[in-house]
Structure 1
Amino acid sequence: MGSPSFFSRRLPPLWLLLLSPWPVWTQALPAATPSGPPGAPDCPEACVCAPGGQANCSGRALPAVPGGLRKSVRILLLDHNRVRALPPGAFVGAGALLRLDLHENGLRWVHAWAFWGLGALQQLDLSANQLEVLVPGTFVPLRALRDLSLAGNRLARLEPAALGALPLLRALNLRDNELPALARGLLAGLPALDTLRLRGNPWACGCALRPLCAWLRRHPSSAPEAETLLCVSPGRLTFSPLAALPDAAFSRCAQPLALRDLAVVYALGPASFLASLATCLGLGSLLTACRARRHRAAAAARHPLKRLPEPGSGTASPADPGSPAAGTAQA
């Protein structure tokens, strides 16, 4: 029988592991598969997966969302990559995703259907990108969303239709964008919002800022940075705190029409237009007819009709060049 050194030279490494003492084997097994290798059946390619459904794809210079997403993925970390655009259905197969991190990708464009199928998503980080506009319907599928960060982008306007109605959203981060105001109705669709971060935007204290100032007065504890929010324009209100602006400061701003007023406008508007058009056409026709009649009367006064001789009469008009009288007159 050979020595132990002989077996160590002849047996494969796997058999050496099986022949090891039991405690050593039980410690080596978890170390062999700690988080699932890249490219595993339940792990996106080029990512490293950990127990609990976390797929770590951070800092891998990925140009697009990796394929192979499965329902076993609960957390998808795609930060510090090169994902410049999100096409329709970019996350197909990840219907159980709870957290999605896309910050610092240079992201410039998000299709309105990019997040379709992510009805369970609760946290979405799109910060530190280059988004300038969000099209209507972008976040409509995310009915379970609780935390949304759009900080550090280039947003100059954020339409209510882009956010839609997010009934469970509690935290919204809009820091360090280019927002001069928040569109009317943007915050109305966020009934559960209790944390709103707005610092680092060029707020313009005009009529468009009235809804935001009213919201800040009604929810003083929901905007922890409200005391630091200052106007950068116009001149007389520069450096005025937003939270200190009363509703009287917007007294010269036109009030929006109520729904009843809008209904009246839409109902009477077309009828009034048609009536005005018919009146204008009638008056124009009457004025044209009067002018034509006046011109005919003036022309008749300047050039009266010559009186012609009656047929059969032997006399000729003295003015007739062919008459004898005209010949005698000429002689």
Structure 2
Amino acid sequence: SGAPGIPDCPEACACAPGGLVNCSGRSLPAVPEGLSRCVRALLLDHNRLRALPPGAFVGAGTLLRLDLRENGLRWVHARAFWSLGALQQLDLSDNLLEALAPGTFSPLRALRALSLAGNRLARLEPAALGALPLLHALSLQDNELSALAPGLLAGLPSLHALHLRGNPWTCGCALRPLCSWLRRHPRPAPEAETLLCVLPGRQTLSPLTAFPDAAFSHCSQPLAPRDLAVVYVLGPVSFLASLAACLALGCLLTACRARRCTALSRLRRPRDPGP
């Protein structure tokens, strides 16, 4: 039950002065209702929260720390964290997350530390993280990531610690953004020297740091905006020109065949018998 003398303490949780709400290990199937506006830390680890619906933490706008470890979480709605603009620490580690919707963390502009370790993430889209200007630590270890999507880390200018071990990285063109980022930012990922990737079709392991830019020279580069403009302008023109050429060639072949048939008919026409 709620702690005596502490207002708005959810049932089945223990509350302490200073805004700590401890609901750890209570087999809770959902986020407790009626969270106090004064809550600063909410511990919901080791429960049975299989999903986080929209507005799951309404009323907890002053929350600074949220612990959701080991809940068997499979689904987080894109608006689950929309009321947590002050949140600084979010722990979603050791759950069953396979994907995250675009905009999931966009409201968390004050976030400093985010842990997604120990989930089943095979791909993490840049839109899911969004721009987190104050994020210092990002934990992605022990997932199923074979590469990081281009631009995933672009919105994290303050990143000082990036944890990536325990993922099945695949040596290939898709790994280029991560390898390039690790070379430009060696400090945030001190474990980069120990990260290995598997060569497709082989059982050979290679260090990620062993791949220079030249190793990806065969990979196709995305077109620059100027090049895209040229493609957009010349694409239809090229198509129409090709179509006109095909029509002209078809007409020419038809004309040639007609002339040939006329010539053959003249050769085969029986001559008029003489008088």
Regarding TM over 0.5, the answer is: yes
Q: Is the 8 A contact 1:128 1:153 kept in 2?
A: yes
Q: Is the 8 A contact 1:63 1:82 kept in 2?
A: yes
Superposition deviation, residue 146 in structure 1: 0.8
Is 2:236 aligned against 1:244?
no
Distance 2:239 2:34 in 1: 59
Q: Which residue of 1 aligns with 2:98?
A: 132
Q: Is the 8 A contact 1:231 1:241 kept in 2?
A: yes
Q: Which of 225, 242, 258 does residue 259 from structure 1 map onto?
A: 225
Q: Which residue of 2 aligns with 1:111?
A: 77
Q: Which of 134, 152, 168 does residue 168 from structure 1 map onto?
A: 134
Q: Which has the higher contact order (CA 8 A, sep 6+)?
A: 2
1:227-242 correspondence runs (5 A):
227-234=193-200, 238-242=204-208
Figure out how many residues of one structure are paired with residues of the other and give that number: 271
Is 2:255 aligned against 1:290?
yes
Superposition deviation, residue 125 in structure 1: 0.5
Distance 2:29 2:199 in 1: 40
Question: Partner letter of residue 3 of structure 2?
Answer: G
Query: What do the CA deviations read for 1:94-136 (whole angstroms, capped 9, x no partner)?
Result: 1111111111011011111111121111111010001111121
Distance 1:100 1:271 in 2: 56
Of 255-264 and 94-103, the range deviating more from structure 2: 255-264
Task: Please state whether the residue corresponding to 1:240 is helix, strand or coil.
Answer: strand
Superposition deviation, residue 247 in structure 1: 1.8
Q: Which residue of 2 aligns with 1:313?
A: none
Q: Which residue of 2 aligns with 1:24?
A: none
Q: Which residue of 1 aligns with 2:182?
A: 216
Question: Partner letter of residue 42 of structure 1?
Answer: D
Cα distance 1:41–1:200, how it changes in 2: closer, same or farther (>3 A)? same
Q: Is the 8 A contact 2:199 2:206 kept in 1?
A: no
Higher helix share: 1
Cα distance 1:292–1:140, how it changes in 2: closer, same or farther (>3 A)? same
Cα distance 1:224–1:290, how it changes in 2: closer, same or farther (>3 A)? same
Task: Please state whether the residue corresponding to 1:182 is helix, strand or coil.
Answer: coil
Task: Please state whether the residue corresponding to 1:273 is helix, strand or coil.
Answer: helix
Query: What do the CA deviations read for 1:59-98 (whole angstroms, capped 9, x no partner)?
Result: 1111111111232111111100111111111111111111
Query: What do the CA deviations read for 1:29-75 (whole angstroms, capped 9, x no partner)?
Result: xxxxxx8349x652233322111111111111111111112321111
Distance 1:256 1:70 in 2: 49
Cα distance 1:274–1:96, how it changes in 2: closer, same or farther (>3 A)? farther
- When normalised by structure 1's length, the TM-score is 0.73
Task: Please state whether the residue corresponding to 2:42 is helix, strand or coil.
Answer: strand
1:293-308 correspondence runs (5 A):
293=258, 297=262
Q: Which residue of 1 aligns with 2:3?
A: 36
Of 113-122 and 294-303, the range deviating more from structure 2: 294-303
Cα distance 1:279–1:152, how it changes in 2: closer, same or farther (>3 A)? same
Superposition deviation, residue 211 in structure 1: 1.4
Superposition deviation, residue 222 in structure 1: 1.2
Superposition deviation, residue 297 in structure 1: 4.4
Distance 1:177 1:255 in 2: 27
Higher strand share: 2
Superposition deviation, residue 231 in structure 1: 1.4
The structure whose Rg is larger is 1
RMSD: 2.8
Distance 1:270 1:69 in 2: 59
Identity %: 76
Question: Partner letter of residue 175 of structure 2?
Answer: L
Cα distance 1:100–1:270, how it changes in 2: closer, same or farther (>3 A)? farther
